[in-house]
């Protein structure tokens, strides 16, 4: 997956207790491209227009594009905090492989769930390969491995099933897959999608020069699933809050967040009071903060008394 997220479409599979990676129903790859296919036709599949490099496979709005950018930034921050080092296994430009070597290398990358874990060595890829999915498009295997590696470090209970691994009539390679995992966020959302990947091979080097993902559902639907906790029964205030956000339940959102509103607005009120004593001027926002504090306090009292329900006091 190009997006770090992302992530994020791939039809939900049931939660698994341990990571599973399998290749099933695999069709055998021929040792050579189909005869009669003109080399020049195969070669034109590679994008030669620089403007295409930053075009995702679908036309998204600014909001969804921002989600991808935010996911990449978050992944880089998390990766840096964990001391992740970008892979350099493909930093030296390949001179080319035999077709058999390229196919076998790609298969090994799938065996380790490369587009989830970032662990594949991508030795069958041109270092300047273009990676595209519904969220984004860019060039470079190092950036791709960094993105998926950072995302992989935030995933639990990963399940990846490959249902097709076959050669196309024009000598390229296509796969079909189904992916599911739990994202390591406080509300534990499930990241899931089903789709496929087209690997465009250079006919002269047999290296992958384009890696194009397509998903079976709209990117917006994937993002929406990230707001829904994977637990069927809420076990924390985070679960209650994000279930309410997912369902558009404004009262549920307030009930789940009122305790934190008290903490935040209370701090603003105290700070304003201190500044008033020291400088003679408080914060301009203190009336709003005071109103929020009172509203949150009333809500918590109602929750304790059982009149209102929807969030845990913490």
Number of structural domains found in the chain: 2
Per-residue pLDDT for 80 more than 60? yes
Same domain, 125 and 268: no
Per-residue pLDDT for 235 more than 70? yes
Q: Scan for tokens 């994977």, then name that residue.
A: 230
> Tell me: the pLDDT tens digits for 86-99?
554 444 455 789 99
Which percentage of the chain shows pLDDT scores above 70? 68
> Does the residue 232 lie in any domain?
no
Task: Kindly state the tokens that stand for 22.
Answer: 């399998």
> Does the residue 7 lie in any domain?
no
Same domain, 178 and 260: no
Same domain, 108 and 211: yes
Same domain, 211 and 261: no
Task: Kindly state the tokens that stand for 306.
Answer: 């059982």
> Tell me: the pLDDT tens digits for 65-78?
666 666 677 766 76
Same domain, 79 and 203: yes
Give the span between the Cα atoms of 180 and 16, in whole angstroms: 9
The residue range of the domain holding 210 is 20-217
> Does the residue 230 lie in any domain?
no
What integer pLDDT is reported at residue 90 of this predicted model?
Answer: 47
Same domain, 193 and 276: no
Same domain, 111 and 198: yes
List, in sequence order, the alpha helices (H) in the chain. 39-43, 62-81, 99-111, 114-117, 141-152, 219-225, 237-247, 250-279, 286-305
What mean pLDDT is predicted for residues 131-158? Answer: 88
Same domain, 82 and 206: yes
Same domain, 175 and 243: no
> Does the residue 136 lie in any domain?
yes
> Does the residue 256 lie in any domain?
yes
């Amino acid at each position: 997956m190009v997006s770090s997220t992302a992530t994020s479409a791939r039809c939900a599979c049931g939660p698994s207790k341990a990571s599973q990676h399998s290749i099933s129903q695999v069709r055998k790859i021929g040792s050579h491209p189909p005869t009669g296919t003109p080399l020049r036709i195969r070669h034109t599949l590679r994008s030669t227009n620089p403007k295409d490099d930053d075009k995702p496979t679908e036309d998204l709005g600014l909001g969804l594009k921002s989600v991808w950018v935010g996911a990449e930034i978050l992944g880089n921050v998390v990766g840096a905090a964990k001391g992740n080092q970008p892979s350099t296994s493909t930093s030296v430009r390949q001179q080319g492989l035999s077709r058999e070597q390229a196919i076998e290398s790609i298969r090994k990358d799938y065996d380790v769930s490369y587009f989830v874990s970032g662990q594949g060595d991508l030795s069958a890829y041109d270092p300047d390969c273009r990676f595209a999915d519904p969220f984004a498009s860019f060039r470079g295997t190092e950036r791709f491995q960094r993105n998926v590696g950072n995302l992989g470090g935030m995933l639990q209970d990963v399940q990846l099933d490959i249902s097709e691994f076959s050669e196309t009539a024009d000598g390229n390679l296509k796969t079909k897959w189904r992916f599911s995992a739990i994202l390591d966020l406080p509300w534990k959302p499930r990241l899931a999608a089903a789709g496929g990947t087209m690997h465009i091979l250079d006919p002269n080097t047999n290296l992958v020069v384009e890696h194009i993902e397509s998903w079976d559902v709209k990117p917006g639907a994937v993002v929406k699933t990230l707001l829904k906790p994977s637990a069927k029964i809420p076990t924390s205030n985070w679960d209650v809050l994000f279930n309410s956000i997912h369902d558009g339940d404004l009262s549920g959102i307030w009930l789940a967040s009122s305790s934190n509103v008290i903490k935040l607005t209370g701090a603003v009120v105290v700070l304003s009071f201190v500044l008033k004593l020291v400088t003679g001027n408080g914060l301009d926002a203190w009336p709003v903060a005071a109103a929020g504090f009172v509203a949150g306090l009333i809500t918590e009292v109602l929750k304790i008394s059982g009149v209102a329900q929807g969030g845990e006091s913490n």
